Amino acid sequence: MDREETLVCGLMVKDPIDKLLDDATSGKSLFKNREVLHFTFMPELVLHRDDEQKKVTQALIPLLKKARPSNLLVYGKPGTGKTLVVKKVLNKIQEKVKDGSFPIQLLYANAKEETTLYGLLIKLGRQLIEKGREKEFPTTGLSISEVFNRIVSAIEKNGLNTVFVIDEIDYLAELVSKTGKDVFYSLTRANERLKKGSLTLIGISNDLTFKERLDPRVLSSLSEEEIVFTNYTVNQIKEILTERIKEAFIPNVLDPAALNLCAAMSGQEHGDARRAIDLLRVAGEIAEREQSDMIKEDHIRRASLKMEEDKETTALTSYPLHEKLLILAVMKANGNSTGEIYQSYKSLCKTTRQKDLTQRRVTQMLSEIEMTGLISGKIVHQGMHGRTKKFALTLNPDTVKKAFKEDLVLEDLL
Protein backbone atom coordinates (compact mmCIF):
# COMPACT_ATOMS: atom_id res chain seq x y z
CA MET A 1 0.00 0.00 0.00
CA ASP A 2 1.17 3.51 -0.87
CA ARG A 3 2.16 5.12 2.41
CA GLU A 4 0.38 8.30 1.48
CA GLU A 5 -2.92 6.54 0.99
CA THR A 6 -5.19 5.61 3.85
CA LEU A 7 -8.13 3.26 4.02
CA VAL A 8 -11.22 5.26 4.98
CA CYS A 9 -14.62 3.51 5.12
CA GLY A 10 -13.30 0.91 2.74
CA LEU A 11 -11.99 3.48 0.24
CA MET A 12 -8.39 4.34 -0.53
CA VAL A 13 -8.04 8.04 0.12
CA LYS A 14 -4.98 10.05 -0.76
CA ASP A 15 -3.97 12.93 1.46
CA PRO A 16 -5.06 16.11 -0.40
CA ILE A 17 -1.77 17.89 0.26
CA ASP A 18 0.25 14.95 -1.01
CA LYS A 19 -1.94 14.77 -4.09
CA LEU A 20 -1.30 18.41 -5.01
CA LEU A 21 2.42 18.14 -4.33
CA ASP A 22 2.69 14.93 -6.35
CA ASP A 23 0.78 16.40 -9.26
CA ALA A 24 3.02 19.44 -9.20
CA THR A 25 6.22 17.42 -9.28
CA SER A 26 5.14 14.61 -11.57
CA GLY A 27 2.70 16.51 -13.80
CA LYS A 28 4.32 18.16 -16.74
CA SER A 29 4.79 21.88 -16.76
CA LEU A 30 3.51 23.98 -19.63
CA PHE A 31 6.14 26.62 -18.93
CA LYS A 32 9.68 26.49 -20.20
CA ASN A 33 10.69 29.73 -18.52
CA ARG A 34 8.16 31.59 -16.41
CA GLU A 35 10.49 34.56 -15.83
CA VAL A 36 10.02 35.57 -19.43
CA LEU A 37 6.45 36.57 -18.61
CA HIS A 38 7.41 38.61 -15.56
CA PHE A 39 7.09 42.36 -15.95
CA THR A 40 10.78 43.02 -15.25
CA PHE A 41 11.97 40.79 -18.07
CA MET A 42 13.76 42.66 -20.85
CA PRO A 43 13.20 40.96 -24.21
CA GLU A 44 16.07 40.92 -26.71
CA LEU A 45 13.75 41.80 -29.53
CA VAL A 46 11.61 44.91 -29.31
CA LEU A 47 9.07 44.69 -32.10
CA HIS A 48 7.16 47.55 -33.72
CA ARG A 49 8.99 50.24 -31.80
CA ASP A 50 11.74 51.11 -34.29
CA ASP A 51 10.63 54.67 -34.63
CA GLU A 52 10.38 55.19 -30.89
CA GLN A 53 13.77 53.54 -30.28
CA LYS A 54 15.34 55.81 -32.87
CA LYS A 55 13.75 58.93 -31.46
CA VAL A 56 14.81 58.22 -27.86
CA THR A 57 18.35 57.39 -29.00
CA GLN A 58 18.54 60.51 -31.14
CA ALA A 59 17.42 62.64 -28.23
CA LEU A 60 20.34 61.32 -26.16
CA ILE A 61 22.99 61.37 -28.89
CA PRO A 62 24.37 64.78 -27.78
CA LEU A 63 25.86 62.86 -24.81
CA LEU A 64 28.15 60.96 -27.19
CA LYS A 65 29.20 64.31 -28.63
CA LYS A 66 29.95 65.64 -25.16
CA ALA A 67 26.98 67.96 -25.08
CA ARG A 68 23.88 68.14 -22.92
CA PRO A 69 20.73 66.62 -24.41
CA SER A 70 17.43 68.47 -24.08
CA ASN A 71 14.97 67.46 -21.40
CA LEU A 72 12.52 64.94 -22.77
CA LEU A 73 8.97 63.92 -22.08
CA VAL A 74 7.89 60.45 -23.18
CA TYR A 75 4.19 59.80 -23.44
CA GLY A 76 1.88 56.97 -24.30
CA LYS A 77 -0.87 54.75 -22.97
CA PRO A 78 -0.04 51.94 -20.49
CA GLY A 79 1.79 48.93 -21.88
CA THR A 80 3.00 50.62 -25.06
CA GLY A 81 6.66 49.85 -24.37
CA LYS A 82 7.86 53.19 -22.94
CA THR A 83 9.81 51.80 -19.98
CA LEU A 84 11.19 48.98 -22.10
CA VAL A 85 12.44 51.25 -24.89
CA VAL A 86 13.93 53.92 -22.61
CA LYS A 87 15.71 51.29 -20.47
CA LYS A 88 17.05 49.56 -23.55
CA VAL A 89 18.44 52.80 -24.95
CA LEU A 90 20.02 53.67 -21.57
CA ASN A 91 21.67 50.23 -21.36
CA LYS A 92 23.08 50.55 -24.85
CA ILE A 93 24.46 54.03 -24.22
CA GLN A 94 25.93 53.04 -20.88
CA GLU A 95 27.60 50.08 -22.56
CA LYS A 96 29.00 52.29 -25.30
CA VAL A 97 30.44 54.96 -23.05
CA LYS A 98 31.66 52.84 -20.15
CA ASP A 99 35.36 53.40 -20.85
CA GLY A 100 35.07 56.88 -22.29
CA SER A 101 36.77 59.96 -20.91
CA PHE A 102 33.48 61.85 -20.81
CA PRO A 103 31.82 60.82 -17.53
CA ILE A 104 28.22 59.89 -18.18
CA GLN A 105 25.82 58.69 -15.51
CA LEU A 106 22.35 57.46 -16.35
CA LEU A 107 19.95 57.20 -13.44
CA TYR A 108 16.55 55.60 -13.31
CA ALA A 109 13.80 55.79 -10.69
CA ASN A 110 10.11 55.01 -10.76
CA ALA A 111 8.06 57.63 -8.93
CA LYS A 112 5.20 55.17 -8.40
CA GLU A 113 7.44 52.89 -6.35
CA GLU A 114 8.34 55.67 -3.91
CA THR A 115 6.02 56.84 -1.19
CA THR A 116 7.77 60.15 -0.61
CA LEU A 117 9.54 62.77 -2.64
CA TYR A 118 12.45 62.47 -0.23
CA GLY A 119 12.75 58.75 -0.98
CA LEU A 120 12.79 59.37 -4.70
CA LEU A 121 15.55 61.98 -4.49
CA ILE A 122 17.62 59.77 -2.19
CA LYS A 123 17.29 56.92 -4.65
CA LEU A 124 18.57 59.11 -7.46
CA GLY A 125 21.31 60.65 -5.30
CA ARG A 126 22.69 57.29 -4.25
CA GLN A 127 23.18 56.30 -7.86
CA LEU A 128 25.51 59.29 -8.24
CA ILE A 129 28.03 58.33 -5.59
CA GLU A 130 30.46 55.49 -5.13
CA LYS A 131 29.49 52.38 -3.18
CA GLY A 132 30.03 52.71 0.55
CA ARG A 133 29.23 56.41 0.65
CA GLU A 134 25.46 55.99 0.86
CA LYS A 135 25.47 57.86 4.18
CA GLU A 136 25.74 61.10 2.22
CA PHE A 137 22.17 60.39 1.21
CA PRO A 138 20.58 59.18 4.47
CA THR A 139 17.10 57.68 4.41
CA THR A 140 15.82 60.40 6.76
CA GLY A 141 16.86 63.62 8.37
CA LEU A 142 17.73 66.08 5.61
CA SER A 143 15.54 68.77 4.17
CA ILE A 144 14.45 68.35 0.54
CA SER A 145 16.54 71.33 -0.48
CA GLU A 146 19.60 69.90 1.25
CA VAL A 147 19.16 66.59 -0.62
CA PHE A 148 18.90 68.58 -3.78
CA ASN A 149 22.08 70.54 -2.97
CA ARG A 150 23.92 67.28 -2.36
CA ILE A 151 22.78 65.96 -5.73
CA VAL A 152 24.10 69.10 -7.40
CA SER A 153 27.46 68.85 -5.57
CA ALA A 154 27.85 65.17 -6.45
CA ILE A 155 27.35 66.05 -10.11
CA GLU A 156 29.78 68.98 -9.95
CA LYS A 157 32.42 67.10 -8.01
CA ASN A 158 33.01 64.60 -10.79
CA GLY A 159 31.82 66.80 -13.64
CA LEU A 160 29.19 64.15 -14.40
CA ASN A 161 26.90 64.38 -17.36
CA THR A 162 23.75 62.92 -15.95
CA VAL A 163 20.41 61.81 -17.29
CA PHE A 164 17.68 61.39 -14.68
CA VAL A 165 14.91 59.16 -15.91
CA ILE A 166 11.80 59.53 -13.80
CA ASP A 167 9.35 56.86 -14.83
CA GLU A 168 5.64 57.37 -14.06
CA ILE A 169 6.50 61.01 -13.44
CA ASP A 170 2.82 61.83 -12.88
CA TYR A 171 3.24 60.24 -9.42
CA LEU A 172 6.06 62.71 -8.76
CA ALA A 173 3.59 65.48 -9.44
CA GLU A 174 1.46 63.95 -6.68
CA LEU A 175 4.38 63.62 -4.26
CA VAL A 176 5.29 67.22 -4.96
CA SER A 177 1.77 68.48 -4.39
CA LYS A 178 1.76 66.74 -0.99
CA THR A 179 4.93 68.45 0.25
CA GLY A 180 4.41 71.70 -1.61
CA LYS A 181 8.03 71.82 -2.69
CA ASP A 182 8.73 72.96 -6.17
CA VAL A 183 11.17 70.19 -6.91
CA PHE A 184 9.91 69.87 -10.42
CA TYR A 185 11.00 73.36 -11.12
CA SER A 186 14.39 72.81 -9.47
CA LEU A 187 14.95 69.57 -11.35
CA THR A 188 14.07 70.95 -14.73
CA ARG A 189 16.24 74.00 -14.15
CA ALA A 190 19.06 72.25 -12.27
CA ASN A 191 21.27 72.55 -15.26
CA GLU A 192 21.41 76.31 -14.91
CA ARG A 193 22.80 75.90 -11.39
CA LEU A 194 25.57 73.51 -12.34
CA LYS A 195 29.06 74.92 -12.69
CA LYS A 196 30.39 71.60 -13.96
CA GLY A 197 28.62 68.61 -15.50
CA SER A 198 25.03 68.56 -16.68
CA LEU A 199 21.58 67.22 -15.87
CA THR A 200 19.00 66.13 -18.38
CA LEU A 201 15.59 65.04 -17.23
CA ILE A 202 13.57 62.36 -18.98
CA GLY A 203 10.02 62.05 -17.73
CA ILE A 204 7.84 59.10 -18.70
CA SER A 205 4.08 59.23 -18.27
CA ASN A 206 0.99 57.30 -19.29
CA ASP A 207 -1.34 59.92 -17.92
CA LEU A 208 -2.13 62.20 -20.77
CA THR A 209 -3.77 64.81 -18.57
CA PHE A 210 -0.62 65.16 -16.53
CA LYS A 211 0.75 67.95 -18.71
CA GLU A 212 -2.26 70.13 -18.03
CA ARG A 213 -1.63 69.87 -14.31
CA LEU A 214 1.95 71.13 -14.54
CA ASP A 215 3.11 74.63 -13.84
CA PRO A 216 3.70 76.22 -17.30
CA ARG A 217 7.32 77.04 -16.39
CA VAL A 218 8.00 73.42 -15.51
CA LEU A 219 6.19 72.16 -18.57
CA SER A 220 8.12 74.31 -21.01
CA SER A 221 11.38 73.12 -19.48
CA LEU A 222 10.48 69.47 -19.15
CA SER A 223 9.08 69.12 -22.63
CA GLU A 224 11.92 70.69 -24.56
CA GLU A 225 11.40 67.54 -26.58
CA GLU A 226 8.48 65.11 -26.66
CA ILE A 227 8.08 61.59 -27.94
CA VAL A 228 4.68 59.98 -28.18
CA PHE A 229 4.34 56.19 -28.16
CA THR A 230 1.43 55.12 -30.33
CA ASN A 231 -0.92 52.27 -29.42
CA TYR A 232 -0.21 48.76 -30.62
CA THR A 233 -2.69 47.19 -33.01
CA VAL A 234 -4.16 43.74 -32.28
CA ASN A 235 -1.82 42.22 -34.86
CA GLN A 236 1.25 43.86 -33.39
CA ILE A 237 0.29 42.54 -29.97
CA LYS A 238 -0.07 39.11 -31.50
CA GLU A 239 3.44 39.27 -32.94
CA ILE A 240 4.90 40.48 -29.64
CA LEU A 241 3.16 37.58 -27.89
CA THR A 242 4.35 35.07 -30.49
CA GLU A 243 7.96 36.01 -29.76
CA ARG A 244 7.45 35.80 -26.00
CA ILE A 245 5.67 32.43 -26.24
CA LYS A 246 8.67 30.79 -27.86
CA GLU A 247 10.71 31.35 -24.74
CA ALA A 248 7.99 31.08 -22.13
CA PHE A 249 6.21 27.83 -22.98
CA ILE A 250 7.16 24.37 -24.22
CA PRO A 251 6.27 23.99 -27.93
CA ASN A 252 2.66 23.73 -29.10
CA VAL A 253 0.89 24.19 -25.79
CA LEU A 254 -0.89 27.37 -26.79
CA ASP A 255 -4.00 26.86 -28.89
CA PRO A 256 -3.82 29.38 -31.80
CA ALA A 257 -7.41 30.39 -31.02
CA ALA A 258 -6.32 31.25 -27.47
CA LEU A 259 -3.49 33.41 -28.82
CA ASN A 260 -5.93 35.26 -31.06
CA LEU A 261 -8.33 35.82 -28.21
CA CYS A 262 -5.57 37.04 -25.91
CA ALA A 263 -4.35 39.55 -28.52
CA ALA A 264 -7.89 40.67 -29.25
CA MET A 265 -8.79 41.16 -25.58
CA SER A 266 -5.68 43.25 -24.92
CA GLY A 267 -5.79 45.09 -28.22
CA GLN A 268 -9.42 46.14 -27.98
CA GLU A 269 -8.93 49.26 -25.93
CA HIS A 270 -5.51 50.58 -26.79
CA GLY A 271 -3.14 47.69 -27.40
CA ASP A 272 -1.66 47.07 -23.97
CA ALA A 273 1.26 44.61 -24.28
CA ARG A 274 1.54 44.27 -20.51
CA ARG A 275 -2.02 43.12 -20.15
CA ALA A 276 -1.55 40.66 -23.01
CA ILE A 277 1.52 39.11 -21.38
CA ASP A 278 -0.13 38.99 -17.95
CA LEU A 279 -3.20 37.30 -19.42
CA LEU A 280 -1.01 34.66 -20.98
CA ARG A 281 0.85 33.99 -17.75
CA VAL A 282 -2.31 33.70 -15.65
CA ALA A 283 -4.00 31.52 -18.30
CA GLY A 284 -0.92 29.28 -18.33
CA GLU A 285 -1.07 28.95 -14.56
CA ILE A 286 -4.76 28.09 -14.60
CA ALA A 287 -4.24 25.49 -17.34
CA GLU A 288 -1.27 23.98 -15.53
CA ARG A 289 -3.13 23.79 -12.25
CA GLU A 290 -5.83 21.80 -14.03
CA GLN A 291 -3.22 19.53 -15.54
CA SER A 292 -4.46 20.52 -18.98
CA ASP A 293 -1.90 19.91 -21.71
CA MET A 294 -2.96 22.98 -23.67
CA ILE A 295 -3.85 26.58 -22.99
CA LYS A 296 -7.24 27.14 -24.57
CA GLU A 297 -9.58 30.09 -25.14
CA ASP A 298 -11.47 29.27 -21.99
CA HIS A 299 -8.28 29.61 -19.91
CA ILE A 300 -7.73 33.07 -21.36
CA ARG A 301 -11.30 34.07 -20.51
CA ARG A 302 -10.98 32.81 -16.97
CA ALA A 303 -7.61 34.52 -16.61
CA SER A 304 -9.22 37.78 -17.60
CA LEU A 305 -11.95 37.37 -14.99
CA LYS A 306 -9.41 36.45 -12.33
CA MET A 307 -7.25 39.48 -13.13
CA GLU A 308 -10.27 41.77 -12.96
CA GLU A 309 -11.23 40.31 -9.59
CA ASP A 310 -7.65 40.57 -8.27
CA LYS A 311 -7.52 44.21 -9.30
CA GLU A 312 -10.77 44.91 -7.47
CA THR A 313 -9.58 43.03 -4.39
CA THR A 314 -6.35 45.02 -4.27
CA ALA A 315 -8.25 48.27 -4.59
CA LEU A 316 -10.70 47.23 -1.87
CA THR A 317 -8.13 46.04 0.66
CA SER A 318 -6.00 49.15 0.30
CA TYR A 319 -8.82 51.47 1.44
CA PRO A 320 -8.72 52.96 4.97
CA LEU A 321 -11.36 51.76 7.45
CA HIS A 322 -14.03 54.43 6.88
CA GLU A 323 -13.94 53.98 3.12
CA LYS A 324 -14.39 50.26 3.70
CA LEU A 325 -17.35 50.92 6.00
CA LEU A 326 -18.83 53.18 3.37
CA ILE A 327 -18.45 50.57 0.64
CA LEU A 328 -20.25 48.11 2.92
CA ALA A 329 -22.95 50.73 3.51
CA VAL A 330 -23.43 51.08 -0.25
CA MET A 331 -23.59 47.31 -0.49
CA LYS A 332 -26.25 47.11 2.21
CA ALA A 333 -28.28 50.06 0.91
CA ASN A 334 -27.63 49.23 -2.75
CA GLY A 335 -29.21 51.68 -5.18
CA ASN A 336 -30.21 54.08 -2.41
CA SER A 337 -29.73 57.81 -2.07
CA THR A 338 -26.74 59.48 -0.43
CA GLY A 339 -28.84 60.22 2.68
CA GLU A 340 -29.91 56.61 3.08
CA ILE A 341 -26.37 55.38 2.52
CA TYR A 342 -25.18 57.78 5.17
CA GLN A 343 -27.68 56.32 7.66
CA SER A 344 -26.50 52.83 6.79
CA TYR A 345 -22.87 53.95 7.23
CA LYS A 346 -23.69 55.47 10.64
CA SER A 347 -25.27 52.28 11.83
CA LEU A 348 -22.23 50.28 10.69
CA CYS A 349 -20.02 52.71 12.63
CA LYS A 350 -22.14 52.11 15.68
CA THR A 351 -21.87 48.32 15.39
CA THR A 352 -18.11 48.51 15.00
CA ARG A 353 -17.75 51.24 17.65
CA GLN A 354 -16.17 53.72 15.32
CA LYS A 355 -16.80 57.43 15.49
CA ASP A 356 -18.74 58.38 12.37
CA LEU A 357 -17.60 61.09 9.97
CA THR A 358 -19.82 63.98 8.85
CA GLN A 359 -22.27 63.60 5.99
CA ARG A 360 -20.32 66.19 4.06
CA ARG A 361 -17.12 64.16 4.30
CA VAL A 362 -18.95 60.95 3.48
CA THR A 363 -20.49 62.52 0.36
CA GLN A 364 -17.02 63.54 -0.71
CA MET A 365 -15.70 60.02 -0.07
CA LEU A 366 -18.52 58.58 -2.16
CA SER A 367 -17.41 60.70 -5.12
CA GLU A 368 -13.80 59.57 -4.64
CA ILE A 369 -14.79 55.91 -4.59
CA GLU A 370 -17.04 56.47 -7.60
CA MET A 371 -14.00 57.69 -9.56
CA THR A 372 -12.34 54.30 -9.13
CA GLY A 373 -15.37 52.59 -10.65
CA LEU A 374 -16.09 50.30 -7.67
CA ILE A 375 -19.43 52.01 -7.18
CA SER A 376 -21.50 53.97 -9.65
CA GLY A 377 -23.65 57.00 -9.00
CA LYS A 378 -26.73 58.25 -10.79
CA ILE A 379 -28.45 61.59 -10.36
CA VAL A 380 -32.17 61.09 -9.85
CA HIS A 381 -34.68 63.94 -10.21
CA GLN A 382 -37.42 63.81 -7.62
CA GLY A 383 -39.84 66.44 -8.90
CA MET A 384 -40.45 69.17 -6.36
CA HIS A 385 -38.03 67.52 -3.90
CA GLY A 386 -35.09 68.45 -6.10
CA ARG A 387 -32.55 65.83 -7.01
CA THR A 388 -30.42 63.28 -5.26
CA LYS A 389 -27.63 60.93 -6.17
CA LYS A 390 -28.09 57.21 -5.84
CA PHE A 391 -25.21 54.80 -5.56
CA ALA A 392 -24.84 51.13 -6.35
CA LEU A 393 -22.03 48.63 -6.14
CA THR A 394 -20.58 47.74 -9.56
CA LEU A 395 -18.90 44.56 -8.38
CA ASN A 396 -19.94 41.24 -7.00
CA PRO A 397 -20.76 41.50 -3.25
CA ASP A 398 -18.81 38.28 -2.68
CA THR A 399 -15.64 39.99 -3.90
CA VAL A 400 -16.19 42.72 -1.31
CA LYS A 401 -16.82 40.19 1.45
CA LYS A 402 -13.74 38.18 0.55
CA ALA A 403 -11.57 41.31 0.41
CA PHE A 404 -12.73 42.66 3.77
CA LYS A 405 -12.73 39.43 5.69
CA GLU A 406 -9.11 39.95 6.81
CA ASP A 407 -10.06 43.20 8.52
CA LEU A 408 -10.82 42.31 12.15
CA VAL A 409 -13.03 45.37 12.74
CA LEU A 410 -15.28 44.35 9.87
CA GLU A 411 -15.40 40.66 10.66
CA ASP A 412 -18.79 40.77 12.39
CA LEU A 413 -20.45 42.76 9.60
CA LEU A 414 -19.80 40.21 6.88
Ligand X SMILES: Nc1ncnc2c1ncn2[C@@H]1O[C@H](COP(=O)(O)OP(=O)(O)OP(=O)(O)O)[C@@H](O)[C@H]1O
Residues lying near ligand X in the complex (CB under 6 A): 39, 43, 46-49, 76, 78-84, 206, 240, 273-274, 277
Q: Given 3-state DSSP classes, what are the helix, strand and coil percentages for the chain, each rounded to the nearest 5?
A: 55, 15, 30
Q: How far is the CB of 224 from Mg ion (least distance, A)?
A: 21
303, HSE (Cβ side, Cα atoms, 13 Å): 27
Q: How far is the CB of 112 from Mg ion (least distance, A)?
A: 9
* 240 contact, one of Mg ion, ligand X, none, CB 5-8 Å limit per kind: ligand X
Q: How far is the CB of 228 from Mg ion (least distance, A)?
A: 14
* 93 contact, one of ligand X, Mg ion, none, CB 5-8 Å limit per kind: none
Which residue's C-beta sits nearest to Mg ion?
Answer: 83
Rank residues 303 and 329 by Cβ distance to ligand X and give the closer one: 303
Cβ–Cβ < 8 Å for 88, 283: no
Q: How far is the CB of 58 from Mg ion (least distance, A)?
A: 20
Q: Which x/- pattern, by CB under 5 A, does the window 75-104 give for Mg ion?
A: --------x---------------------
Rank residues 168 and 288 by Cβ distance to Mg ion and give the closer one: 168
Rank residues 108 and 342 by Cβ distance to ligand X and give the closer one: 108
Please state, in angstroms and rounded to a whole number, the distance separating the CA atoms of residues 354 and 367.
22
Q: Residue type for 196, please?
A: K
Rank residues 230 and 334 by Cβ distance to ligand X and give the closer one: 230
Rank residues 201 and 237 by Cβ distance to ligand X and give the closer one: 237
Please state, in angstroms and rounded to a whole number, the distance separating the CA atoms of residues 75 and 53.
13
Does residue 205 interact with Mg ion by CB under 5 A? no
Q: How far is the CB of 168 from ligand X (least distance, A)?
A: 6
Q: Residue type for 167, please?
A: D
Q: How far is the CB of 259 from Mg ion (least distance, A)?
A: 24
Rank residues 110 and 292 by Cβ distance to Mg ion and give the closer one: 110
Rank residues 79 and 284 by Cβ distance to ligand X and give the closer one: 79
Please state, in angstroms and rounded to a whole number, the distance separating the CA atoms of residues 184 and 181.
8
Please state, in angstroms and rounded to a whole number, the distance separating the CA atoms of residues 74 and 90.
14
Q: How far is the CB of 52 from ligand X (least distance, A)?
A: 9
- DSSP state string for 228-274: EEPPPPHHHHHHHHHHHHHHHB-TT-B-HHHHHHHHHHHHTTT--HH
* 401 contact, one of ligand X, Mg ion, none, CB 5-8 Å limit per kind: none
H or E element that contains 378: strand 375-381
Select from 344, 334, 345, 343 the least CA-distant residue to 391.
Answer: 334
Q: Which x/- pattern, by CB under 5 A, does the window 24-63 give for Mg ion?
A: ----------------------------------------
Neighbours of 307 (CB within 10 A): 16
* 80 contact, one of ligand X, Mg ion, none, CB 5-8 Å limit per kind: ligand X
Please state, in angstroms and rounded to a whole number, the distance separating the CA atoms of residues 148 and 137.
10
Largest Cα–Cα separation, the chain = 87
SS3 readout for 83-111: HHHHHHHHHHHHHHHCCCCCCEEEEEEEH
Rank residues 121 and 204 by Cβ distance to ligand X and give the closer one: 204
* 282 contact, one of Mg ion, ligand X, none, CB 5-8 Å limit per kind: none
Select from 68, 64, 117 the least CA-distant residue to 95.
Answer: 64
Q: How far is the CB of 29 from Mg ion (least distance, A)?
A: 29
* Residues forming the site for Mg ion (CB under 5 A): 83
